[in-house]
Structure 1
Amino acid sequence: MKKFTVAALLLTVSGAAFAADLPVKAVKAPTPAFDPWDIAFGGAVMSDYVFRGITQSNHQPSVTAYFEPRYNVNKDLQLYIGTSTESISFANHAAAEVDIYGGVRPTFGAFGFDLGIWGYLYPGGQCQEGFPGGVAVCPAGSPLAAGPNFVQIKQDLSFYEGYGKVNWTFNDNFALGANEYYTPSFLNSGAWGDYASITAKVTAPSKWLGSSGVGAYLSAEVGRQWLGTTDAFYRIAAAPIGIPYPSYDTWNIGIAFTYKVFTLDLRYSDTNLNKGNCAAVTSAFNANIPGNVTAINPNGFGSNWCGALGIAKLSADLTAMTSLK
């Protein structure tokens, strides 16, 4: 009887061990329905709003916000439209930039493309003729801005660009990009504009930063802005039908730290545009640096709107499908 009991116990234990080794067929969870819609949105505060090496806020702090609905046709094709606003300080007294854009983002393996149209609107502008008693250049009835006698700028600076971008992601830590933008009338000046740049981004491996949830990356951009000749609004005695805007190089490099939806970006930006030509291109209302005569700036007052500077930017970026769940 004792032998039978021991044997029965051994069989029971052995049977339990064998059962644990058998594969268990799990009940498959239902696949969630694919929702192609998403919305990206966010905002930022920055010490200076810089666009292609040139301050848009007179070296003052600026705030921005954006809203971008997206439609994912599939995992490799996204359609989108969006709008953003930035606070600015322009020579024509415009205080805000309103952007409206849209396009398509196809992906092919490690290559991500972005093709679209971007419109830049600057409401609230006022025309300025530049020199009292001179030839009137502002349209009759347009609001006139008070300012220095040498500043000449249109009421409406709104324009649009067509663009194409490509980003090559080598791995989780390194990516290269190239960008191309074209407009038939840069800042509504009548001068065509073409901007091309290359970018690079190096992301720190997560193991370097431990379990804090903080991420970090280095990024840089080198670009060139080509510009054509303006219409007759910006004429001078030496160029009565318009001035040939100078083309210039621009570059920036910075380090950024991320935590959840937040990014702190610290960046250095610069151009090779001299102070005299900077004043001519921007019509800077505070161009007060003498001795900067150029072919398109005969008065010789230069501007620091295009020089070297550091920028700090704190931003938050969210998406409805991930950040708000």
Structure 2
Amino acid sequence: MAFRGLAVWSQSVVTLQSPKASNSKGLEMKKYVMPAFVAAAVVAAAPALAADLKPVYKAAPAPVAANPWDVAIGAAVMTDYNFRGISQSDRGAAVSSYFEARFKPTANIEWYAGLGGYSVKLATDPTAEIDIYGGARLTWDKWTLDLGYWYYAYPRERQIDGVIVTVPSGATSLGNTDFGEFYAKLNWNPNDNWAFSVQGYYTPDWLRSGADGTYGALTLKYTGNALPSGWNWYVSGELGHYWLGTTDQVFTPTGVAVFNNITGTGGIDLPDYTYWNVGLGFTYKALTIDLRYHDTNLNEAQCAVLTGDPGAGPISPISVTNVGAVGVGSKWCGQAFIGKLSFDTTLSALK
């Protein structure tokens, strides 16, 4: 804009002077007047030109501090609540939900604490299963180590004399089966498709029976490439084994099917068992549809011993288990095909 004004002004000076400039003095004046105006205009325009050419330096914006706090929430509906191969909902539908607070002080450490709940139908007829848990996740490269403690509470269990429950089938269960366990999970994700995990859980008092319980498992998951529809898919499986100890509760000398609190009498040697599952899942944003097959190597008599299933029925021939001859059997531990629809997200993902 400065140069355009300069051209107009210079031209008007030349036009006014040239018609009357016939002598040498006029010529000489013409010679000096125009360069003078040009020089003055250039000097006047120089600051604007310099301002246009001068590089502009702006301070880099201050980095936005990442919020170390987050909350994960989720809910699910399933055709059966299966826990390590055993139905917790009498082979019927169940619902669940959870809330998990997370604190991540560094990129490699995350502390968490959660509260969850499941609808159940068990021998002691509790209102629900309430899970309280917490721990830390430590991450480095492609590895994650998850260490924590999980407590299973079953409020308002029905009881007889405050200790035992004898269900209609004649099976027996302790009246208070709340218990907790320590756990450790080592996860390896070599790439975006594969995930491997080794898991271990330990309780010194399984279902308040006095028996210790150790569960170890290997899991494998393959996540495929996204489908054209925007859905993702995966296949996964788990192979685990449950080592269960000896209770500090025994049957009464008369053989009545109730527990008697007599420590040091040998107790009941609970049956160990192997559990496995394999399934196919589909995910879309926060939604997951999981279709899975579950099974164990427990027979029906062993299942009745572990569960106290009130629906356990007579079996023939009578099975011999770790606790002796058992004439009833439960179907809570056998083959099961379960469908599950779940929703999982975090507050940070919703922003």
| TM-score bracket for the superposition, by shorter chain length | 0.7 to 0.9
C-alpha displacement of 1:293: 2.2
- In structure 2, which of residues 105, 109, 112 is the aligned counterpart of residue 73 of structure 1? 105
Match of 1:116 in 2: 148
User: Residue by residue, what CA displacement relative to the aligned partner does 1:88-131 show, whole Å, maximum 9, x if unpaired?
Assistant: 01101113100000000000111111000000001111235xxx
**Residues 1:283 and 2:296 are matched in the alignment:** no
SS in 2 for 1:277: helix
Q: Which stretch of the first structure deviates more once superposed, 271-280 or 228-237?
A: 228-237
- Distance change >3 Å, CA 303–CA 26, structure 1 → 2: farther
Alpha carbons 2:136, 2:147 under 8 Å: kept: yes
The count of corresponding residues between Structure 1 and Structure 2 is: 287
The residue aligned with 2:23 is none
Other-structure match for 1:11: none
TM, length-normalised to structure 2: 0.77
- 3-state SS of the aligned residue for 1:290? strand
Choose the corresponding residue for 1:225, options 238, 242, 247. 242
> Superposed, which structure 2 residues align to 1:46-61 within 5 Å?
46-61=78-93
d(CA) in 1 for partners of 2:206, 2:186:
23
Q: Which ranges in structure 1 are unaligned for 5 or more consecutive residues?
A: 1-22, 129-139
Equivalence map 1:1-325=2 (5 Å): 28-127=60-159, 140=161, 142=162, 147-148=167-168, 150-206=170-226, 209-210=227-228, 212-233=229-250, 237=255, 241-291=266-316, 292-295=318-321, 296=323, 298-322=325-349, 324-325=350-351
Once the two structures are TM-superposed, the CA of residue 243 in structure 1 deviates from its matched residue by: 1.0
Give the CA deviation at 1:233.
4.8
C-alpha change, 1:191 and 1:234, in structure 2 (3 Å) is farther
Q: How many angstroms does 1:150 deviate by?
A: 1.4
- Counterparts of 1:203 and 1:25 in 2: how far apart (Å)? 47
Larger deviation: 81-90 or 239-248? Answer: 239-248
Q: Deviation of residue 31 (structure 1)?
A: 2.3
Equivalent residue, structure 2, for 1:18: none
- Long gaps (5+) in structure 2: 1-54, 260-264
How far has the Cα of 1:75 moved from its partner? 1.2
- Identity fraction in percent: 42
SS at match of 1:281: helix
Q: Partner letter of residue 220 of structure 1? A: G
Superposed CA offset, 1:210-255 (max 9, x none): 2x22110001000000000112255675996421001000000001
**What is the SS of the residue equivalent to 1:280?**
helix
Q: 1:115–1:189: structure 2 CA closer, same or farther, 3 Å change rule? A: same
- The structure whose residues are more often helix, as a share, is 2
**What do you get for the CA RMSD once the two structures are aligned?**
2.3
CA distance in 1, matches of 2:94, 2:79: 6
